[in-house]
């Protein structure tokens, strides 16, 4: 049956007008916005300058990213930080979020992206704030680990930092708080099952020497990985710094004990390393400082946190020169020079650093495994046995963390000379919940602190 002429006419008119097959008119469609955080966990500090930030990435299908808005819409504890304390900058698909802390503790911040068509989405930022510290304007926080134990200058304000709870070296931009810009996990290179307990570092040219504590663990048990001296080779500088594993030796502890026994057991190294002996005792055995002797690239000063010499209150700090450290780091038997005993007011060596002019700075602290309420001081020294070190600064002890590392030594004769020190915050209760920083489950909440001091 043929269609009627009126139907053909209607079809023809539709084709001419362009409405055939078009269906009902539709409005422009917008998808649900998306919001993604570069980190779900963020740490700040009360009164700090330059806290770490989070990158917020937003998008919405059918809309330009510049049309989206990002705000904080809620907080679980506004006394720590609330919506009004969140600042979001940027206008495109990538925004920068910063938080101002008002009190120590934790808060979950709800972040909201609002797009076109009345559609929105949310995400949660888990925020933790540590308390205010002295010299807060100069303080920077190195996140990702809390037990900073040794550091060397990498140039342009960057520093390579060791952590005594793992075998990872981290490169930080010292001018800004935040995560490392690069890391090197040395577990495989060291063949280590446990941490080497890295406590000292010294740079000679493009070689960095690192030493473990050489002592027992806190329970008095021998751990072979701690009996380690190793090297890394540096290429580049600043943000372009690269490290390559060099060599390692695993006998310095044994050689020190044998040397001491051959010299009348003067320092009690055999007893200090005996099973059951905790390392951080006045008569224990624990290495924390490493630096090269004046004008030498082979003789290294090994600085002891314990024992004191003699092992009693008011005893002197001990340094043992290792005269072939370049070979020790390749597994060769160590040879030793005459030991050096320094009067640091009853304190021991926590770090030791020299500049190109032969000027040394010593971070002096207690041999004990106490909190940071024990005294700390900074001493200058010329590196010559028999010459007395001079106290240049008593370090503050009211804040979290113990002073552990000197990054580099300025010209100590220059007026207004400043030095950067680093704290080990591993045993600190940073957020007021009774948890040691090293036991926090989120690395973004773990951190150590750097601070600048002007030397008198």
Is a pLDDT exceeding 70 seen at residue 9? no
CATH code 2.120.10 region(s) in the chain: 136-454
Is a pLDDT exceeding 80 seen at residue 26? no
Q: Which of 3-12, 86-95, 233-242 has the lowest mean pLDDT?
A: 3-12
Please write down the HEC assignment for all residues of 293-340: CCCCCCCEEEEEEECCECCCCCCEEEEEEECCHHHHCCCCCCCECCCE
Give the mean model confidence (pLDDT) for residues 382-388: 97
| Stated pTM of the model | 0.91
* pLDDT digits 0-9 by tens, 171-219: 999 999 999 999 999 999 999 999 999 999 999 999 999 999 999 999 9
The Cα–Cα gap between 226 and 167 comes to 11
Confidence of residue 369 (pLDDT cuts 50, 70, 90): confident
Is a pLDDT exceeding 50 seen at residue 14? no
pLDDT at 220: 97
Q: For the CA atoms of the chain, what is the radius of gyration? A: 30
Confidence of residue 85 (pLDDT cuts 50, 70, 90): very high
With respect to CATH, is domain 34-130 assigned 2.60.40.1080? yes
Is a pLDDT exceeding 70 seen at residue 27? no
Q: Which of 187-196, 335-344, 368-377 has the lowest mean pLDDT?
A: 368-377
Strands laid side by side in the 41-45 sheet = 41-45, 120-130, 105-114, 69-75
CATH code 2.60.40.1080 region(s) in the chain: 34-130
Q: What is the dihedral of CA 382, 384, 386, 392, to 10 degrees?
A: 20
Of 38, 61, 57, 36, residue with least CA distance to 115? 61
For residue 41, count other CB atoms closer than 10 A to its CB: 17
CATH number assigned to the domain with residue range 136-454, chosen from the 4 options 2.120.10, 1.10.760, 3.40.50, 1.10.530: 2.120.10
Give the mean model confidence (pLDDT) for residues 118-143: 96
Mean pLDDT of the chain, nearest integer: 93
* pLDDT digits 0-9 by tens, 435-453: 999 999 999 999 999 999 9
Is a pLDDT exceeding 70 seen at residue 113? yes
Confidence of residue 28 (pLDDT cuts 50, 70, 90): low
């Amino acid at each position: 049956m043929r269609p009627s002429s009126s139907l053909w006419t209607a079809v023809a008119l539709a084709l001419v007008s362009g409405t055939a097959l078009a269906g009902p008119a539709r409005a422009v469609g917008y998808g649900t916005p998306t919001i993604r955080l570069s980190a779900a966990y963020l740490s700040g500090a009360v009164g700090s300058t330059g806290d770490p930030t989070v990158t917020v990435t937003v998008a919405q299908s059918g809309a330009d990213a510049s049309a989206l808005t990002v705000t904080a819409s809620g907080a679980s504890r506004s006394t720590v930080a609330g919506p009004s304390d969140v600042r979001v900058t940027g206008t495109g698909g990538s925004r920068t979020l910063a938080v101002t802390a008002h009190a120590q503790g934790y808060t979950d911040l709800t972040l909201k992206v609002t797009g076109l068509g009345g559609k929105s989405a949310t995400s949660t930022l888990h925020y933790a704030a540590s308390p205010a510290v002295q010299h807060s304007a100069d303080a920077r926080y190195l996140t990702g680990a809390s037990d900073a134990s040794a550091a060397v200058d990498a140039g342009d304000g960057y520093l390579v930092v060791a952590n005594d709870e793992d075998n990872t070296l981290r490169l930080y931009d010292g001018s800004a708080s935040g995560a490392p810009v690069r890391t090197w996990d040395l577990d495989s290179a060291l063949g280590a099952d446990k941490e080497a307990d890295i406590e000292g570092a010294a740079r000679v040219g493009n070689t960095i020497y690192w030493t473990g504590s050489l002592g027992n663990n806190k329970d008095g048990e021998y751990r072979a990985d701690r009996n380690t001296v190793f090297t890394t080779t540096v290429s580049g500088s600043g943000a372009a710094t690269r490290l390559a594993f060099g060599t390692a030796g695993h006998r310095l502890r044994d050689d020190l004990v044998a040397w001491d026994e051959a010299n009348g057991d003067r320092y009690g190294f055999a007893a200090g390393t005996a099973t059951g002996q905790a390392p951080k005792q006045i008569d224990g055995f624990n290495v924390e400082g490493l630096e090269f002797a004046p004008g030498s690239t082979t003789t290294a000063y090994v600085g002891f946190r314990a024992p004191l010499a003699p092992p009693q209150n008011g005893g002197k700090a001990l340094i043992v020169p290792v005269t072939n450290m370049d070979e020790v780091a390749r597994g060769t038997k160590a040879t030793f020079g005459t030991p050096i005993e320094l009067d640091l007011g009853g304190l021991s060596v926590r770090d030791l650093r020299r500049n190109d002019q032969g000027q040394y700075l010593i971070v002096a602290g207690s041999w004990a495994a106490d909190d940071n309420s024990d005294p700390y001081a900074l001493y200058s020294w010329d590196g010559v046995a028999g010459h007395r070190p001079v106290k240049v600064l008593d370090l503050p002890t009211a804040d979290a963390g113990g002073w552990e590392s000197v990054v580099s030594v300025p010209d100590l004769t220059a007026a207004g000379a400043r030095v950067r020190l680093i704290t080990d915050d591993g045993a600190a209760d940073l957020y007021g919940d009774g948890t040691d920083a090293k036991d926090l489950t989120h690395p973004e909440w773990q951190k150590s602190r750097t601070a600048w001091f002007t030397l008198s």
